[in-house]
A and B are shown apart, each in its own frame.
Chain A
Amino acid sequence: MGNSSSSSGRHHEEMVDYGSLQPQGVYTGPQDWNQSVVTQLIVARKIAPFYRPLEEYEESWDDDQILAARKELPESSENSDTAARGDAVRSSHSKRPNGGKEFRPDAAVYRGATECPICFLYYPPNINHSRCCDQAICTECFVQIKRAEPTTTHLVSEPAACPYCVQDNFGVVYAPPTWRGGIGSDGAHPLSPLSVSRMEQQASVPTHKRRQKSYSADSPEVVTIDQIRPDWEAKLAAVRAAVARRANRRIIMRQVGDRLIPVGIGRIQTPEEAAEGGQYVGVSGQDLEELMLMEAMRLSLIDHEEHQRKEAEEKKKEEEAERAGAGQGVPSQTDQGTSTTLPLPSLSTPSAPSPGTRSRSPSRSRTPPIRDSMVNRSPPPFSTMNAAFMSSGTASAFLNSSRPPIVSSSELIPVPSANPRSEVDAQTATSSTIATSFSSLTGQLAQPSSSTSSQPSLGPIYAQLPSSPDLVGQQPPLALTGSTAKGETASTLSVPDGTTTPGEPAR
């Protein structure tokens, strides 16, 4: 509650229409909205001020009952301050008999109070209404509604939907009272008994009759949730950039014999970088598939490595035995250093890749067509690396020993869904099979949530559900869709925000 210090009792004069510029502690979480924007909107009477809510409200209550029902404030200092003020107000009027002609505006504002359907607390009838379906929502609840935070696995930020009717781009409109109090009230009508009775009358009219019109999200009257969190785009951009940085790291592999050997980590230029100058090393969808195929092949070959080695050893023994017997040597066909190696023109030279740095043409990781890899050509141009790899046994051992900043096996990199063709899934050298890599991609691609628009309105459902049990069994599940867990298609996605994905491969 970083902002609440300024809401202490010193600033009693900072009230708008008997409501505060600061939240009243209904919610205890962090204030992650832009409070100065909210303050401006309250002062401009574009949204309702933060009134102290009433726990309950009865039409028959007198002023004392109303004031007593006001919610306790969270902070003791603020509490005592305001309470003292409330006492002062009360005592100043207590000379007269209660229910007499005296007029107490701080209680009068609650006449005709409205229950906020989200926090279930009561507020003065001048409350915000959803722009789309004209449902009441207090300012405390309004500032809580926000876009879902983008995560590295969910690189979109959909506008928050209306909690009542699920329409996109939630926003409210606020009809300020005809009277004014506090900031900006000079020369305006003060709150009077007459205006209170008008207020009560208005509140008793059913909401849907009060306003037929729904406002579009860009109407000047509307305040959207994005307006009070103007940093949402920056947040999204930051997450996207982080993912893009990681996704641009790729393992550069060399095919040696029947294996692909990772020789380093490269980075693909973004189109922006390419525009700045230098050669653009793009990755088309085809490249991506090829890269994945290569990775699959490499992993499957690594799986057989033990087998191959054993075979080779056996063969060697046999040959030695043969040689010993017949005195005639046969060169081993399984010696990887001397046979069947394809130097891939697109692969890096060993010196080029350096982790985290931009890889230009030397480390160009455009992958070769797989069929080429089946053809045996010349001996490996880089046999020392090959030897290093041979001695280290596995790709991961090799990479981990020689390239410290390499992504670890647990840090799987999701494919950004926003621009899958230009941002390539980095295949880490030590984990993930091709099948899951592919499916994680499709999982991302298949994810655009067009679902919200097809959802029926929740408002009416809510209204019906608790009181209409006989609907059960006659209607299909309302607003309820679901099926398989996402693990079906996203088994390699890591979810950094602590959530896990179903079906994560048991490793």
Chain B
Amino acid sequence: MASISSRRLAKELREIHAEGCPVGIELLKADDFATWWFSIEVMGESQYRDEKYTLQFRFDSQYPISSPAVQFVVGDGREAPIHPHVYSNGHICASILGNEWSPVLSVIAVCVTLQSMLASCKKKERPTDNDRYVRTAPDNPKKTRFHYDDDE
């Protein structure tokens, strides 16, 4: 019996194949229900003009109740975008990936939200604690408890 995770992802994938991805987002890889890759670029005027990044989703068996582990792919010529909420190891500090994840969100919804996060960036810079975080960061960004201080 398929788990809730693969069942829902199968439906999401079917929808992606049927309706396509939003502009600037492409499905690169979805060979299984464990890891998906998307390419993401910001359309129009932005700090990230003509730049393309790879976004990785990792799902556990409790998706969508549990959030996917989402990060930018780094290595093999791929870089994480320089952004105040994106660490150089690809980890992203975004509340919807953590405590504000909702099972109603979908993979595409996350892609669009992150695309929008890049689009609204005013100044390309790394998080102030980038070096310290990257040195000891866990492999899975979900194991990090980020502090979303824009809330305050």
Is there an interface contact between A483 and B104, defined as CB atoms closer than 8 Å?
no
Which partner residue on chain B sits nearest A498 by CB separation? B143
Asked if A287 lies at the interface with its beta carbon under 8 angstroms from chain B, I say no
Which residue in chain A gives the minimum CB-CB distance to B107? A466
- A470 vs B44: C-alpha distance in the bound complex, in angstroms? 11
* B129: Cβ under 8 A from any A Cβ: yes
Minimum Cβ distance to chain A for residue B40 (Å): 10
- Please report which residues of chain A, range 467-504, place their CB below 8 angstroms from some CB of chain B when the two chains form the complex: 468-473, 475-490, 495, 498-504
Chain A residue nearest in CB terms to B106: A466
- A61 on interface, CB distance cutoff 8 Å: no
Chain A residues closer than 8 Å to B93, beta-carbon distance: 482-485
Interface residues of B in 1-28 (CB under 8 A from A): 1, 3-4, 7-8, 11, 15, 19, 22-25
Does residue A166 face the partner (Cβ distance < 8 Å to B)? yes
Q: Judge if B100 is at the interface, Cβ distance under 8 Å.
A: yes
CA gap between A504 and B145 in the complex, in Å:
12
Whether B7 pairs with A120 at a CB distance below 8 angstroms is yes
Indicate if A452 sits at the interface (CB-CB under 8 A): yes
Q: List 24 A-B contacts (CB under 8 A).
A: A27-B62, A117-B104, A119-B7, A121-B7, A144-B65, A443-B147, A446-B149, A455-B95, A466-B19, A469-B24, A470-B23, A472-B42, A472-B115, A477-B117, A479-B113, A480-B94, A480-B117, A483-B84, A483-B85, A483-B149, A485-B127, A487-B133, A503-B129, A503-B133
Q: Which residues of B contact A28 (CB under 8 A)?
A: 3-4, 61
* Inter-subunit contact B116/A485 (CB<8 Å): no
* In the complex, per-residue mask of B48-91: 1 if CB is within 8 Å of any chain A CB, else 0: 00000000000001101100000000000000000011010001
Task: Provide the residues of chain A in CB contact with B127, threshold 8 Å.
Answer: 483-485
**A380–B1 CA distance with the chains assembled, in angstroms:** 73
Give the complex CA separation of A457 and B48 in angstroms: 28
Q: How many A-B residue pairs have CB under 8 A?
A: 217
Contact partner, A485, options B4, B99, B133, Cβ 8 Å: B133
What are the residues of chain A within 8 A of B95 when measuring CB–CB? 451, 455, 479-482
Q: Kindly identify which residue among A153, A461, A470, A484 contacts B129, using a CB–CB cutoff of 8 Å.
A: A484
The A115-148 residues at the B interface (CB cut-off 8 A) are: 117-121, 141, 144-145, 148
A29 interfacial contact with B, CB 8 Å: yes
B15 to chain A: closest CB distance in Å?
8
Q: A25-B1, A119-B7 are contacts. A472–B96 as well, Cβ < 8 Å?
A: no
B100-A163 in contact (CB<8A)? no
Nearest neighbor of A458 in chain B, beta-carbon distance? B102
Query: Smallest CB–CB gap between A25 and chain B, Å?
Result: 7
